[in-house]
Structure 1
Amino acid sequence: MVACNTREPIRLGFIGGLSGRVADLGIGGRDGALLAVELRNTSGGVDGRLLELIAEDDQQDPDIARQAVSRLIDNKVTAIIGPMTSAMAVATVPLANTAQLLMLSPTVTTTDLAGMDDYFLRVINSTTNYASKSANYHFAEQGSRRITVTYDLRNQAYTESWLNDYRKEFEAAGGALVAVVPFSSSDDSNFSALAQRLLQSRPDGVLILANSVDTAMLAQQVRKRDAVVHINACEWSATERLIELGGKAVEGIVIAQFIDRESQQASYMAFKKAYLARFKREPGFAGLLAFDATNVVLDGLAAQTSGQTLKQAILARREFAGAQSRISFDAYGDSVRATYLATVRHGAFVRLQ
């Protein structure tokens, strides 16, 4: 379609982790962005110009991520969808700011980037919302008073932000974090030893702040040693791969969510049907949020007036319709949208709140 149009296409960039052991997040995000571009192209693009998506793999490495963003800047993209993790956002936002290039993330939640008048926007809440909601549920509904926590240092901007917000809320309610154990995600991570440390103080619950693969593997080791302790996790790990790898060990896990997989909302069902038809797998939260983020950019481009930057166009409008819930930006480009808690029941995510 791009070749049939005589006008130069509008180029959008995407950056996320597309390779390695936890590429499910980045691939889901890329495909959600691609679907949004393809659907918009079928209706004529934006202002008669078709769209092209240029995807870059940050490999979850700050130096590689900076190189990828530099290439997208050199390719004169109109905006960047991504990154998909907070650590990569902290590494690359300064480049976007220098280039005055809009960067709109589907999934970055760190509070380190909140409340800043910069070129970074996001379509979800900061960690404060998810961590606080989780802490209140663990204390009031599970009855947990003593929690042990482990968090991944390779996405420290996210996990420490989440941990700090959680600690504040849980301790204010009367609970205690009796052990906090950092680790660095790798193929050589010793989850057996980590589980042993987390259970040593006989806590009511274990909180895992990690990706889907590490959460699944650690949950298996925890369950080998303790059949009843509560296992809780963060929204970063809530991809379909968690259930695929974790099996029975992740049954009953309580997890923060960006997505209500049980939603029957017409716009969500239409998106899900289109995603399944195009990619032959569930979109999960990564696909949904990247689809939403890309559509915000496309709607902003369509509304942009002469002399107005894309950032100004988006923030002037403020409200956008997501596939599942509305997206509301504040003056700094931080968002508010519906959030959920879920559990895994019979091999599927089931909404709790």
Structure 2
Amino acid sequence: MTDRIGDSLSRRDWLRAGGAALIVPALARPALSQGQPDVIRIGHLTPRTGFLGPLGEFAVQAAQLAVEEINAAGGINGRRIELLAEDSVNPQTASAKAERMIQRDRVACIVGEINSASALAISQVAQREKVLFVNTGANSDALRGSDCKRFMFHVEAQNTMMVRAAGRALLEQGLIKGKKVYALTADYAFGHDLLKQAKKFMSANEATIAGEDLIPTELTDFSPFLLKIRQGRPDLVICNLAGAQITNFLKQYSEFGLPYPVAGFGFDTALAWGAGQGNFLGTWPVIWHHLIDAPSAQRFVAAFRAKYKRPPENQGWGDYTAMKVVAQSMIELKATESIKVVEHLEKGAKFNISKGREGYFRSWDHELMQEMYAITALPADAIKNPYDIFKSTGAIPGANESLEVVATTRDENACTFPA
């Protein structure tokens, strides 16, 4: 069932105000003009069930909050947003729902997704229909390279950025150079791509992959793999898992009492909270966290806490930020057509993204250039509440570095947009 958010009035009230609740979004559809509907529909697709469901819950809540804030501030040039939110489930379902949202519901754009394969499926529909899609959670480098699409933009960081952010912290801790590493990897598109980028980093920094396993996404019992790790006696265990896989792994790793340091190259803070105090271990990359000392970040945290009684985590940040970016762009352009928003973003428009520095999208691969962070678990005796269970590096890249230094170059990840 579709959730419609952002319209506190009844449909009858809206009709009295004048206009049906349809929005004409894309290329070859009319520009804004007097007499058009009062509602702008935005589609939101993300996993709300399965192993990525815990992250999807934060995504939906944050998107709802963003829409409420935008509407309370006057909407998009006086027009309210109506959010159509659905569970993307899997790539086939994501594709079908994206097509329905565009063709039947006439959404102005689609925001969301976490699964890389589903993001690719949505992007193919969006490209064919010439409708903007803002990816908020899928990390695969291929989505910014071989599978890039002109109508797809990425608020979420690519895998290479995640690997290099965590890698900086691990190098400083002396856990990479000359070390023997055991890798556990989620057996789907995201995991395969993350392992590929991790191996590049390890090779460049003189580490050896001494063992590796692909983990089915539905697996819940890690004991066979923990026994292999015990036998392998690595210097570092790298966790290239996703969603609830990470929570289950950390809990079981703690129960086994293995002494080897743990780290990961892909992460969401909700997974640390899910593991619980005393079970969260190691060093991990994040695109955002609720302790960032920036005024806009803390306003977002306060608003989310007030509404949902817990702090937001980085997936929620992604969907919240994407909604704000879309709305700001449409307000500045005084238009909702996707091609105009695409051109606006490609020209280097800058946005407050609840961090220390503004972000912008690169024109050639549509990746958001932004600060990142690496977090490390606090010892149990330093934890004072269920959420503040880690310490963070400063922003990566640092204040005196280009935001692009941890991202891929054109030579590393070439993107050619389809016509």
TM-score, reference length from structure 2: 0.77
Q: Quote the residue 2:374 is aligned against.
A: 341
Q: Quote the residue 1:311 is aligned against.
A: 342
State the shift of 1:77 in Å. 0.4
TM alignment of 1:145-164, pairs within 5 A: 145-153=179-187, 156-164=188-196
- Determine whether 1:204 maps to 2:235: yes
Where 2:161 maps in the other structure, the secondary structure is helix
Distance 1:54 1:143, change over 3 A: same
TM alignment of 1:61-76, pairs within 5 A: 61-73=90-102, 74-76=104-106
Between the aligned partners of 1:184 and 1:289, the Cα distance in structure 2 is 26
Note if contact 2:246-2:271 (Cα within 8 Å) is conserved in structure 1: no
- Determine whether 1:218 maps to 2:249: yes
Distance 1:224 1:24, change over 3 A: closer
State the shift of 1:142 in Å. 3.7
- Determine whether 1:137 maps to 2:166: no
Distance 1:223 1:280, change over 3 A: closer
Residue type at the aligned position of 2:275: L
Where 2:75 maps in the other structure, the secondary structure is coil
Q: Quote the residue 1:244 is aligned against.
A: 274
Where 2:78 maps in the other structure, the secondary structure is coil
Note if contact 1:149-1:198 (Cα within 8 Å) is conserved in structure 2: no
Q: Quote the residue 2:266 is aligned against.
A: 235
Q: Quote the residue 2:50 is aligned against.
A: 20
Note if contact 1:318-1:330 (Cα within 8 Å) is conserved in structure 2: no
State the shift of 1:140 in Å. 4.1
Could you report, residue by residue, the CA deviation over 1:80-138 in whole angstroms, capped at 9, with x for unpaired residues?
A: 11112322112221111111111001222211111435211012331111112323433
Q: Quote the residue 2:3 is aligned against.
A: none
Could you report, residue by residue, the CA deviation over 1:208-250 in whole angstroms, capped at 9, with x for unpaired residues?
A: 12224221222233334444211112333x2334333344232
Between the aligned partners of 1:264 and 1:181, the Cα distance in structure 2 is 38
Note if contact 2:290-2:312 (Cα within 8 Å) is conserved in structure 1: no
TM alignment of 1:1-353, pairs within 5 A: 1=8, 3-4=13-14, 5-6=17-18, 7-59=37-89, 61-73=90-102, 74-115=104-145, 116-144=148-176, 145-153=179-187, 156-186=188-218, 188-236=219-267, 238-251=268-281, 253-304=282-333, 309-324=340-355, 325-331=357-363, 332-345=365-378, 346=383, 348-353=389-394
More off after superposition, 192-201 vs 171-180: 192-201
Between the aligned partners of 2:349 and 2:189, the Cα distance in structure 1 is 26
Residue type at the aligned position of 1:138: L
Between the aligned partners of 2:86 and 2:264, the Cα distance in structure 1 is 28
Residue type at the aligned position of 1:315: E
Taking only aligned residues, the RMSD between alpha carbons, in angstroms, comes to 2.1
Distance 1:224 1:44, change over 3 A: closer
Distance 1:93 1:28, change over 3 A: same
More off after superposition, 64-73 vs 210-219: 210-219
Where 1:108 maps in the other structure, the secondary structure is coil
Note if contact 1:131-1:163 (Cα within 8 Å) is conserved in structure 2: no
Distance 1:89 1:190, change over 3 A: same
Q: Which has the higher Rg, Structure 1 or Structure 2?
A: 2
Note if contact 2:180-2:235 (Cα within 8 Å) is conserved in structure 1: yes
Note if contact 2:123-2:149 (Cα within 8 Å) is conserved in structure 1: no
Where 1:23 maps in the other structure, the secondary structure is helix
Where 1:200 maps in the other structure, the secondary structure is helix
Where 2:52 maps in the other structure, the secondary structure is coil
Residue type at the aligned position of 2:262: I
Could you report, residue by residue, the CA deviation over 1:26-68 in whole angstroms, capped at 9, with x for unpaired residues?
A: 1111111111111111111111111100001012x11121122
State the shift of 1:297 in Å. 0.6
Distance 1:152 1:117, change over 3 A: closer
Note if contact 1:13-1:72 (Cα within 8 Å) is conserved in structure 2: yes
Note if contact 1:272-1:283 (Cα within 8 Å) is conserved in structure 2: yes
Distance 1:320 1:85, change over 3 A: same
Between the aligned partners of 1:64 and 1:122, the Cα distance in structure 2 is 21
Residue type at the aligned position of 1:343: T
Note if contact 2:290-2:297 (Cα within 8 Å) is conserved in structure 1: no
